[in-house]
Amino acid sequence: MTTQTRLDSEAAAPEPQAPRTPARRRRRITPAKVLIWAGLILSTLIFIYPFIWLISASFKPRGEVFDNKIIPETFTFDNYLNVWQEAPMALWLWNTVLVTVLAAVTVTVSSAMVAWGFAYFRFRGRNLLFGVVLATMMLPGAVTMIPQFLIWNSLGMVDTLTPLWAQNLFGSAFYIFLLRQFFLGLPRELFDAAKIDGANNWTIFTRIAMPLCKPALIITLLFEFQAIWTDLMRPLIYLRDSDNFTVPRGLKALLDQYGFGGEWHWEIVVTASVITTVPMIILFFLGQRHFVQGIATTGSKG
Amino acid sequence: MASTQVNAPGTLGDGRAARARRIGRRRETRAALLFISPWIIGFLIFTAWPIIYSAYLSLTDYDVINDPNYVGLENYEELFRDPDVALALWNTFFFTVIQVPVYVIVSLALALLLDKAGRASGFFRTAFFLPKMTPPVAVGILLLLLFNGQSGLINEALSWFGIDGPAWTTDPDWVKPGLILMSLWSVGSSVIILLAALRNVPQELYDSARVDGANWWQQTRKITVPMISGALFFIFIVNTIAGFQTFTEAYTAFFGSGNTTYSNDAALFYVIYLFRQAFEFLNMGYASAMAWLLFVIIMIFTAIQIKVSRRFVYYEGEQR
């Protein structure tokens, strides 16, 4: 319990900033403050403007996509109607949702199990084995990429969605590391008490440890959801038939066809980009607190 | 606590205690292995075997259709003769060596600004982080659109200041600078890491420095940067490793079946070339050799960075 409340308060901490207020109450405008706010507003504009540009371009007719105007001269909704006909966008979205949900759920459950195995039990060779887990994080993906492809190829799974998520059944080093840190923060007495009450290892894990680590499990889910949704390389390697594409792979195909492929229908590319990005923006607003906390903790503990 | 009870000597006869301990330990090991087994299986199939097989493949000619044909070290010799490997390495080094320091400095600057934003910091943090949520494919597309030489927003903005912007996406000299600038759009997560580190710097340090008359720049250089050097180093090393493996944005913007308009030599990064060798030209053996060269390069760079960091990085409560 203590860890959970600590984490929650940590996540909420950046906003209030209690101790520093007395000096700030006076609200004197100093040159330094003007500079800081100018910097903040300018950089916010730079970060947000590409989104505004993209969204506004998606409401422009073909000829005006590149006019750099914030408010479209001729406002049109046609792109959002046409894009579904020009490409199997709905199917791509469905494929992506399927892969992403499967990948995120399996990696969270399997990584939590493995992390618990390393955090709770004491056995010979534990540190050595955990060292191997950490070492695999250092291995560039390029080394294992080709043999992994050959494995899926020999199983006849190329051009199916399976290779995009099935490896997540076996946990992922980064999340094992992350979740183990959280499990180690739980008080051991809790589990010993449950054991005396007759709980077995599995119940201790599912009924006590997992619920207490909910924030960390949510972080894992969100991180993996984002990673899989946005991935291009694996879909490029594994998917051939356009009916099997995920949205990023489909977006790349649209760019190749409508962008510099000669047809020059950038309004379709722009609109498809918006459709690909919006779910991630929604995901961020749904889990903002967890994203921020997850990034801050991995950064300070890595 | 249960295990310490079992371990407590003298409570039982020595032989029985040892036996109980052994059984307990064996049970615990078995339970642990059960929990860890998914990772062990996955490691053996998807990491250990691929490492061995990749090393073997790198000594062969293999096109997936025909059986691998053993050629000894020929692939590795070819690496040093292949002008495209040299080009890809040059592009990748150029990108990483410039991108990483700029990226770290920009994240630090933004984190320092954000730290001073007071109650509004939540809003600005969201603004800085949103680009990080954008799929890299969309970032690659945005690069093509915003950095377009004739009608792109960047060049239009430059023209307000009387600057005639370059052809970012077609001029080989400006392709990498464009990619570097675009990559700065996604500094969000580094900013959050650094902000968290900034918030952990004890306020007393600044208070006493101010008493001693230190100005903002002195405080930043002598207190802030050393106190958050651990986080800075983390970002530095993670981004270097990522920089060597940069792929998606550049591949989206400059490669693929539809790209017939650009000469894309300037965007041929190492992993892009590796990917093309493996999955477009089906030279699996050669691509495996390329992967091992990349592995060695990353290891060397990481080792150097860790060694150098020992002299600069300060960890609070350091045990060593």
Residue A145: list chain B partners with CB under 8 A. 278, 291
Q: Return the pLDDT at A258.
A: 81
Q: Residue A158: how many CB atoms within 10 A of its CB?
A: 16
Q: How confident is the model at residue A127 (pLDDT cuts 50, 70, 90)?
A: very high
Q: Which 9-28 residues of chain A touch chain B by CB within 8 A?
A: 13-15, 17, 19-20, 24
Question: What average pLDDT does this structure show over A153-159?
Answer: 95
Q: Picking from A11-25, A238-252, B38-52, B83-97, which range would have the lowest pLDDT averaged per residue?
A: A11-25
Distance CA B143, CA B179 (A): 7
Q: Which 137-176 residues of chain A touch chain B by CB within 8 A?
A: 138-151, 153, 167, 169-171, 176
Q: Give B69's strand partners.
A: B61
Distance CA A19, CA A285 (A): 28
Do residues A126 and A118 touch, judged by C-beta distance below 8 A? yes
Burial class (CB in 10 A: 0-12, 13-18, 19+), A195: middle
Do residues A67 and A73 touch, judged by C-beta distance below 8 A? yes
DSSP state of B157: H
Distance CA B234, CA B103 (A): 13
Q: What's the distance, CA B166 to chain centroid?
A: 29
A283: left (phi over 0), alpha (psi -120 to 50) or beta: alpha
Q: How confident is the model at residue A5 (pLDDT cuts 50, 70, 90)?
A: very low
Judge: B50–A148 Cβ closer than 8 Å, yes or no: yes
Q: Return the pLDDT at B49.
A: 97
Q: Which of B25, B33, B47 minimises the CB distance to A136?
A: B47
Give the best residue of B46, B139, B141, B280 to mutate against chain A (max A CB count within 10 A): B141
Do residues B108 and B232 touch, judged by C-beta distance below 8 A? yes
Q: Return the pLDDT at B108.
A: 96
Rg of the Cα trace of chain B?
27
Do residues A276 and A247 touch, judged by C-beta distance below 8 A? yes
Burial class (CB in 10 A: 0-12, 13-18, 19+), A299: buried
Q: Picking from A205-209, A297-301, B183-187, B206-210, which range would have the lowest pLDDT averaged per residue?
A: A297-301
Kindly compute the dihedral angle of the four CA atoms of residues A170, A173, A178, A179, in this order, to the nearest 10 degrees.
Answer: 20
Number of CB pairs < 8 Å for A and B?
A: 300
Query: What are the DSSP calls for A48-100, one per residue?
Result: HHHHHHHHHHTTS-GGGTTS--SS-SS---HHHHHHHHHS-HHHHHHHHHHHH
Distance CA A254, CA A261 (A): 9
Q: Return the pLDDT at A6.
A: 39
Question: What average pLDDT does this structure show over A244-249?
Answer: 96
- Evaluate if residue A256 carries a pLDDT over 90: no
pLDDT single digits (tens) A179-216: 999 999 999 998 989 989 888 999 999 999 999 999 99
| B75-312 carries CATH number 3.30.565.10 | no
Q: How confident is the model at residue B262 (pLDDT cuts 50, 70, 90)?
A: low
Q: Return the pLDDT at A230.
A: 96
Establish if A44 touches chain B: CB-CB under 8 angstroms.
yes
Q: How confident is the model at residue A299 (pLDDT cuts 50, 70, 90)?
A: low
- Evaluate if residue A31 carries a pLDDT over 90: no
Q: How far is A5 from chain B (nearest CA, A)?
A: 18
Q: Return the pLDDT at B1.
A: 38
Q: Return the pLDDT at A261.
A: 58
pTM of the model: 0.88
Question: What average pLDDT does this structure show over A87-94?
Answer: 95
Of the candidates B144, B315, B298, which has an alpha carbon nearest to the alpha carbon of residue B226? B315
Burial class (CB in 10 A: 0-12, 13-18, 19+), A20: exposed
Judge: A151–B46 Cβ closer than 8 Å, yes or no: yes
Give chain B's length: 320
Identify the CATH assignment for A82-301 out of 3.90.1300.10, 1.10.3720.10, 3.40.50.720, 1.10.357.140. Answer: 1.10.3720.10
Segments of chain A assigned to CATH 1.10.3720.10: 82-301
What does the angle CA A168 – CA A174 – CA A176 come to, to the nearest 5 degrees? 75
Instruction: Kindly report the average pLDDT of chain A as a whole number.
Output: 87
- Evaluate if residue A11 carries a pLDDT over 60: no
Give the best residue of B106, B145, B187, B284 to mutate against chain A (max A CB count within 10 A): B145
Judge: A44–B113 Cβ closer than 8 Å, yes or no: no
Q: Return the pLDDT at B312.
A: 78
Q: Give B60's strand partners.
A: B70
Q: Return the pLDDT at B183.
A: 96
Closest residue in chain A to residue B276, using alpha carbons only: A237
B72: left (phi over 0), alpha (psi -120 to 50) or beta: left
Render the burial of B146-160: b for 16+ CB within 10 Å, e for the rest: bbbbeebbbbbeeee
Q: How far is B124 from chain A (nearest CA, A)?
A: 7
Q: Work out the percent of chain A whose per-residue pLDDT is above 70.
A: 88
DSSP state of A163: G
CA distances from A184 to A94, A117, A289, A295, B266 (A): 38, 11, 22, 19, 48
Residue type at position B204 = E
Judge: B29–A53 Cβ closer than 8 Å, yes or no: no
Q: Return the pLDDT at A7.
A: 41
Question: What average pLDDT does this structure show over A42-71?
Answer: 91
- Evaluate if residue B193 carries a pLDDT over 90: yes
Q: How far is B94 from chain A (nearest CA, A)?
A: 19
Q: Return the pLDDT at B104.
A: 96
Distance CA B96, CA B256 (A): 23
Residue B127: list chain A partners with CB under 8 A. 43-44, 47-48
Q: Which of A15, A252, A281 minimises the CB distance to B130?
A: A281
Q: How far is B26 from chain A (nearest CA, A)?
A: 8
Angle between helices B121-133 and B188-199 in degrees, nearest 10: 140
- Evaluate if residue B288 carries a pLDDT over 80: yes
In chain A, what are the helix, strand and coil shares in percent, each to the nearest 5? 75, 0, 25
Q: What ipTM was reported for this prediction?
A: 0.88
Q: How far is B109 from chain A (nearest CA, A)?
A: 10
Give chain A's length: 302
Q: Return the pLDDT at A263.
A: 63
Distance CA B233, CA B190 (A): 11
Do residues B144 and B255 touch, judged by C-beta distance below 8 A? no
- Evaluate if residue A13 carries a pLDDT over 70: no
Q: Work out the percent of chain A whose per-residue pLDDT is above 90.
A: 67
Q: Which of B124, B135, B145 minimises the CB distance to A44?
A: B124
pLDDT single digits (tens) B154-168: 999 999 998 988 999
Q: How confident is the model at residue B69 (pLDDT cuts 50, 70, 90)?
A: very high
Distance CA A37, CA A27 (A): 13
Q: Return the pLDDT at B3.
A: 42
Q: Return the pLDDT at B291.
A: 97
Closest residue in chain B to residue A200, using alpha carbons only: B31
Distance CA B235, CA B81 (A): 34
Distance CA A23, CA A104 (A): 46
Q: Which of B131, B262, B294 minimises the CB distance to A47?
A: B131
- Evaluate if residue A264 carries a pLDDT over 80: no
Distance CA B56, CA A54 (A): 47
- Evaluate if residue A106 carries a pLDDT over 80: yes
Residue A256: list chain B partners with CB under 8 A. 256-259
Q: Return the pLDDT at A17.
A: 45
Domain extents in chain B: 2-57, 75-312
Q: At a CB cut-off of 8 Å and minimum separation 6, what does B299 contact?
A: A138
Render the burial of B161-191: b for 16+ CB within 10 Å, e for the rest: eeeebbbbbbeeebbbbbbbbbbbbbbbbbb
Establish if A282 touches chain B: CB-CB under 8 angstroms.
no
Q: Residue A240: how many CB atoms within 10 A of its CB?
A: 10
Q: Picking from A29-33, A247-251, B314-318, which range would have the lowest pLDDT averaged per residue?
A: B314-318
Query: What are the DSSP calls for chain B, one per residue?
Result: -HHHHHH-TTSS-HHHHHHHHHHHHHHHHHHHHHHHHHHHHHHIIIIIHHHHHHHHHTTEE--SSSPPEE-TTHHHHHHHH-HHHHHHHHHHHHHHHHHHHHHHHHHHHHHHHHHT-GGGHHHHHHHHHHHHHS-HHHHHHHHHHHT-TTT-HHHHHHHHTT-----TTT-HHHHHHHHHHHHGGG-HHHHHHHHHHHHTS-HHHHHHHHHTT--HHHHIIIIIHHHTHHHHHHHHHHHHHHHHT--HHHHHHH-STT--S---GGG--HHHHHHIIIIIS--HHHHHHHHHHHHHHHHHHHHHHHHHHHHH---TT---
Instruction: Kindly report the average pLDDT of chain B as a whole number.
Output: 89
Residue A229: list chain B partners with CB under 8 A. 135
DSSP state of A165: T
Residue type at position A274 = V
Q: How confident is the model at residue B308 (pLDDT cuts 50, 70, 90)?
A: confident
Q: At a CB cut-off of 8 Å and minimum separation 6, what does A193 contact?
A: none
